[in-house]
């Protein structure tokens, strides 16, 4: 799977924050280094790509592990998954109190905290989990750790973007996926059918929340929002089965799909900053020098992405039109 999807990502992005929720998760510097090596081995030699690694934060993560990982230079963040919130999150954080020492260390050394911002409190509706986390959990984290830089990953609600845009300074940012910009929850149930390939976590929300995301990318004056694809490659058999799994694969055409969303929002002039500048500045990275050229020329997405030795991946827009196309011709 890695040998198939890593080159697809590298053809779209020169670097990426690599999430650690594998089986087993990436919890130590040694595991992050090994995963990084496997990614680089999967990238063709003619493509420049830098994986920016993360550690999977657990109740047992030590200050020493964070300090060593930060000193490595290639581990850029820790990812906080509330235990049970999403794919492969069973080892995640059970309470914020249990990671307070780790968060204090991250604050001291300047390591970014990436958060899957969904509540796992009993009785919270699946469509309200992000709003509940944003109102009940995140404000206390911001208060208790005033110098901790936080990325609220793959936000989906008006509550999340409102908090991010209103928080003063450069301490809270958010990523948004292409699929949450393009689709509402209606896509899961279109035509009185269930469409498992449109099921992800955080789940797609009501249209009013999608419109709030589109408005936010247009009105983001301070560069607090940037790309985070949350592109999730699952074999077709894992998506279509008695239990199913969460995840939408966009790695084959993420830039083009973002362009569609930004065009809909009337925000094409902000696309470059969203894709290439805001995230780099938040993480303290130099901007890349190379260019991508987008043409307003439709193409048809692949029906399936073949994975040798496994079932194929069914990507977003399988066999359907994508309005923009990446081009190597800078005169296009």
Residues with catalytic function: 230
Instruction: Supply the DSSP symbol for 10.
Output: H
Number of neighbours of residue 252 by Cβ within 10 angstroms:
24
Cα 291 off chain centre by:
22
Q: What is the 3-state secondary structure (H, E, C) of 223-288?
A: CCEEECCCCCCCCHHHHCCCCCCCCCCCCCCHHHHHHHHHHHCCCHHHHHHHHHHHHHHHHCCCCC
CB distance 45 to 36 below 8 Å: no
CA angle, 6 then 309 then 15, to 5°: 5
3-state class (DSSP) for residue 93 = strand
* Structure token pair of residue 279: 């995230």
Q: What residues contact residue 190 under an 8 Å CB cut-off, 6+ apart?
A: none
Among the listed residues 171, 201, 186, 183, the one whose alpha carbon sits nearest the alpha carbon of residue 85: 201
């Amino acid at each position: 799977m890695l040998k198939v999807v890593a080159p697809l990502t590298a053809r779209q992005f020169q670097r990426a924050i690599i999430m650690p929720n594998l089986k087993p998760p990436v919890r130590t510097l040694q595991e992050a280094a090994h995963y990084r090596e496997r990614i680089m081995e999967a990238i063709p030699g003619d493509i420049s790509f830098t994986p920016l690694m993360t550690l999977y934060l657990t109740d047992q993560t030590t200050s020493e592990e964070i300090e060593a990982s930060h000193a490595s230079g290639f581990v850029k963040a820790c990812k906080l998954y509330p235990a049970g919130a999403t794919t492969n999150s069973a080892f995640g954080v059970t309470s914020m109190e249990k990671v307070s020492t780790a968060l204090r260390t991250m604050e001291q050394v300047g390591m970014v905290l990436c958060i899957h911002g969904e509540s796992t409190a009993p009785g919270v509706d699946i469509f309200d989990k992000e709003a509940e986390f944003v109102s009940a959990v995140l404000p206390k984290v911001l208060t208790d750790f005033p110098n901790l830089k936080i990325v609220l990953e793959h936000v989906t609600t008006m509550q999340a973007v409102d908090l991010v845009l209103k928080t003063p300074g450069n301490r809270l940012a958010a990523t948004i996926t292409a699929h949450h910009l393009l689709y509402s929850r209606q896509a899961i149930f279109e035509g009185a059918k269930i469409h498992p390939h449109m099921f992800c976590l955080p789940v797609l929300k009501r249209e009013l929340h999608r419109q709030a995301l589109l408005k936010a990318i247009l009105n983001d004056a301070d560069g607090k929002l940037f790309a985070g694809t949350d592109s999730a490659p699952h074999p077709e058999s894992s998506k279509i089965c008695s239990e199913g799994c969460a995840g939408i694969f966009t790695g084959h055409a993420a830039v083009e799909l973002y362009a569609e969303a930004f065009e809909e929002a009337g925000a094409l002039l902000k696309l470059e900053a969203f894709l290439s500048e805001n995230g780099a500045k938040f993480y303290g990275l130099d901007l890349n020098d190379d260019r991508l050229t987008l043409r307003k020329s439709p193409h048809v997405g692949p029906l399936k992405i073949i994975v040798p030795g496994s079932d194929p991946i069914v990507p977003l827009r399988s066999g359907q039109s994508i309005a923009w196309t990446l081009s190597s011709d800078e005169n296009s």
